Chain A
Amino acid sequence: MDTITTHHHADAHRDDTAAKIGMWLFIFTEILLFGGLFIVYAVYRFKNPVAFDLAHQELSIPMGLINTIILLVSSATVAVSISAIQKNDKKMTMAMLGITLLLALVFLVNKYFEWGSKFEHGMYPGSDLMTNLSNGDMLFFSLYFFMTGLHGVHIIVGMILLGITLFKVKTGAVNSGKYALLENSGLYWHLVDLIWIFLFPLFYLIH
């Protein structure tokens, strides 16, 4: 029976490279998930050029711009946290992760006010106002809510990942010799940023 109970099972095995390849592959799938939506956006924009152009003026460019800057900065801070853990600077790592989380939260608060002002005017999926819009306007705002909403879900998932990582840095489970989790959370956060970099011009900027 001894041989049975002392048996080491395969999940004791650790392979950071595999973890990173896995994360990259997962990021491919996320890009394709949004890729499907970009196709839908392109098709409907092609079909309703005038309506899309008019509808996009309803969105506040400063709000979008602020959120873009917030996400870009948060991508930088998460990158710094990885450099910090490599240098075994636990304090800095935690500080940078904390700032990243804070910025993510600010992004969501901004989004809340942005969506909130639309809701106040009766603009939300399924509302009377929205169902009475012209087809092109309706599609623009449908896509706007759906795509930024799905992106928002990814922000929340990213925050959970970064939160878990921060906790593990604190306990020492993630350290200078073992930080694949931090790198992967960072990669995921860059993805969330990257998608926003496409959403921002598509909805706020393009004439």
Chain B
Amino acid sequence: MAEHNHTKHEPNYLEYQGKHKGLLGWLTTTDHKRIGLLYFYSMMTFFLAGVVMGLLMKFELISPGEQIMGAQTYNGLFTLHGLTMIFLFVIPGVAAVYGNFFLPILIGAKDVSFPRLNLMSWYLYIFGAIVVLASQFMGDGPPDTGWTFYAPYSLKTNTNVVAAVTGAFILGFSSILTGLNFIVTMHRLRAPGMGWLRMPLFAWSLYGTGWIQLLATPVVGVTFLMVVAERLLGIGFFDPAIGGDPILYQHLFWIYSHPAVYIMILPAMGAITEIIPTFARKTIFGYTAIVISSMAIAFVGYFVWGHHMFTSGMSSTSRWVFSLLTFLVAIPSAIKVFNWTATLYKGSINIQTPFLWAIGFIFVFMIGGFSGLVLGSLATDIHVHDTAFVVAHFHYIVFGGTGFAFFGALHYWFPKMWGKIYNTKVANLGLLIFFIGFNLLYFPMFYLGLMGMPRRYYDYLPMFENANVLSTVGSWIMATGLIIIIVNLVRARKGSGREIDNPWDGKTLEWTIASPPIVENFEEIPVVEHGPYEY
């Protein structure tokens, strides 16, 4: 028992030994913190695999003609890159890792409402991931449809679409159950005194996200089932040759997949909203406005899916309505940005690594957001639709937004999750290199798209070469930054470190408990007497 020689009586969640020990203890755990880490490790594995695929694609694009792969390999690679990054990393993303780990702590609970269901969600996630990845090796080769599985091509291609779509369906189940669990947890397990408007804003963002997961995912689920039925049984739902309507497929797909963007970004915004007040040493500006904007994004985000289809064939009335709604959804997003910057105003800013990630987030998110307006406008969208511009835009949002928030949250909560602190100088250096690489990688793609370079092509005209070289070099710089960041964190995790309960002087409940937290988080359930950010 020498290694457990703590002054505390309770073991922390990492060293806790229940009925099962070691790895089995992890695989049978119902502790939300351990489940959060299960998601974290599996997600990082998929993320790094996705990064490698991205680097390979960028290398292929370094100059015109075939470099390292042919067209069909490239088609398979961008499909797998999309599937991995979207379904296995950013959709579960911030919510599954930090939501699981911190939601119960932030609202003063011992766990989520349904701990076993929570573990089952992780197993569904892993099972879905295996099925998606199996599509690479089974049947007639890797799917080449892109992650969108657009009909009728997804019905005609000989590649293994069925497995990929089935995997995505299972992953949807996992996502629904996590959202359901979080919503019920917030309704039932808030600590005494924690009214709805005293919840930390990260919790609020998870609440909005949970509702999108519940209300949007089933629609794409049944759509994927229809694709499977059409491929296996020859039922004609979407193939125009037998009366089906491929545009209808696009509608059904985007009814989910646009709100899915908010499943990705809302928790990310929530994490940033936790970081900003802690390092501005100031209460958040406009708490209620942020709550309302989260819910407004969740709500309005439901009605903008048509903006993915401006060129697919829609009436002009539908087009301008969807365009208008798209502009409307930009308002709550902008409100958040104003709230973050207003929080900084006259704050006593403590510049630390998580804060720098948050600032980086705001910067890239703004570029992503504004370029989104270019795509939401009918006239400009016709010009840049299906070009590299779109790829740049959503990488600024999804990777720049969610990715930056994911790593920002990791640096913010790392000392709480593992009870260790990392080398901040190396972390900042890694971030700087990552940030430069990120912008060098994606910014030229805006230019390329405006000049007319299509997305999803393995080859291009010589006129696009210079910008593509810049972009490829950017991908190497970004990867270098990523390696520095990860090595730094792995070393901190392995190092002896020192245990600090509250390194940033944060005010939310997770900073009132031990690092790493004990099994049921709190020695005694706290009684909450004020809002979350009282400085």
Q: Residues on A close to B: CB < 8 A?
A: 1, 3-4, 7, 9-11, 13, 15, 17-19, 21-22, 25-26, 28-30, 32-37, 39-40, 43-44, 47-48, 125-126, 130-131, 134-136, 138-139, 142, 145-146, 150
Q: How far apart are the CA atoms of A183 and B186 in the complex, in Å?
A: 22
The reply to whether A18 and B218 form a contact with Cβ atoms under 8 Å apart is no
Number of interface residues of B (CB under 8 A): 50
Answer whether residue B242 sits at the interface, using C-beta atoms and an 8 A cutoff: yes
Which residues does chain B contribute within 8 Å of A146, judged by CB atoms?
A: 226, 229, 235, 237
The reply to whether A36 and B218 form a contact with Cβ atoms under 8 Å apart is yes
Closest A residue to B247 by beta carbon equals A43
Which residues does chain B contribute within 8 Å of A26, judged by CB atoms?
A: 176, 180
Residues of B102-153 contacting chain A, CB below 8 A: 110-111, 113-117
The reply to whether B17 and A29 form a contact with Cβ atoms under 8 Å apart is no
23 contacts between A and B (CB under 8 A): A3-B9, A4-B17, A7-B10, A9-B115, A10-B115, A11-B30, A15-B188, A29-B180, A29-B214, A30-B218, A32-B219, A33-B219, A36-B221, A36-B252, A39-B252, A44-B245, A125-B235, A130-B234, A135-B243, A136-B243, A139-B243, A139-B244, A142-B237
Smallest CB separation, A154 vs chain B (Å): 12
The reply to whether B11 and A135 form a contact with Cβ atoms under 8 Å apart is no
Q: How far apart are the CA atoms of A18 and B117 in the complex, in Å?
A: 13
Residues of B23-69 contacting chain A, CB below 8 A: 30-31
Residues of B327-361 contacting chain A, CB below 8 A: none
The reply to whether B113 and A33 form a contact with Cβ atoms under 8 Å apart is no
Answer whether residue B462 sits at the interface, using C-beta atoms and an 8 A cutoff: no
Closest A residue to B177 by beta carbon equals A26
Q: How far apart are the CA atoms of A138 and B252 in the complex, in Å?
A: 21
The reply to whether B222 and A33 form a contact with Cβ atoms under 8 Å apart is yes
Closest B residue to A26 by beta carbon equals B180
Selected contact of B218 from candidates A7, A11, A32, CB within 8 Å: A32
Which residues does chain A contribute within 8 Å of B243, judged by CB atoms?
A: 44, 48, 134-136, 138-139
* Chief secondary structure at chain A's binding surface: helix
Interface centre among A35, A40, A139, A150 (most CB of B within 10 A): A40
With A125-B234, A138-B236 as known contacts, state yes or no: A10 contacts B30, CB within 8 Å. yes
Interface centre among A18, A34, A35, A134 (most CB of B within 10 A): A18
Interface centre among B1, B9, B520 (most CB of A within 10 A): B520
Which residues does chain B contribute within 8 Å of A25, judged by CB atoms?
A: 180, 183-184, 214
With A28-B214, A32-B215 as known contacts, state yes or no: A40 contacts B226, CB within 8 Å. yes
Q: How far apart are the CA atoms of A43 and B187 in the complex, in Å?
A: 38
The reply to whether B248 and A43 form a contact with Cβ atoms under 8 Å apart is yes
Smallest CB separation, A24 vs chain B (Å): 10
Residues of B147-192 contacting chain A, CB below 8 A: 176, 180-181, 183-185, 187-189
The reply to whether A1 and B113 form a contact with Cβ atoms under 8 Å apart is no
Q: How far apart are the CA atoms of A18 and B185 in the complex, in Å?
A: 8
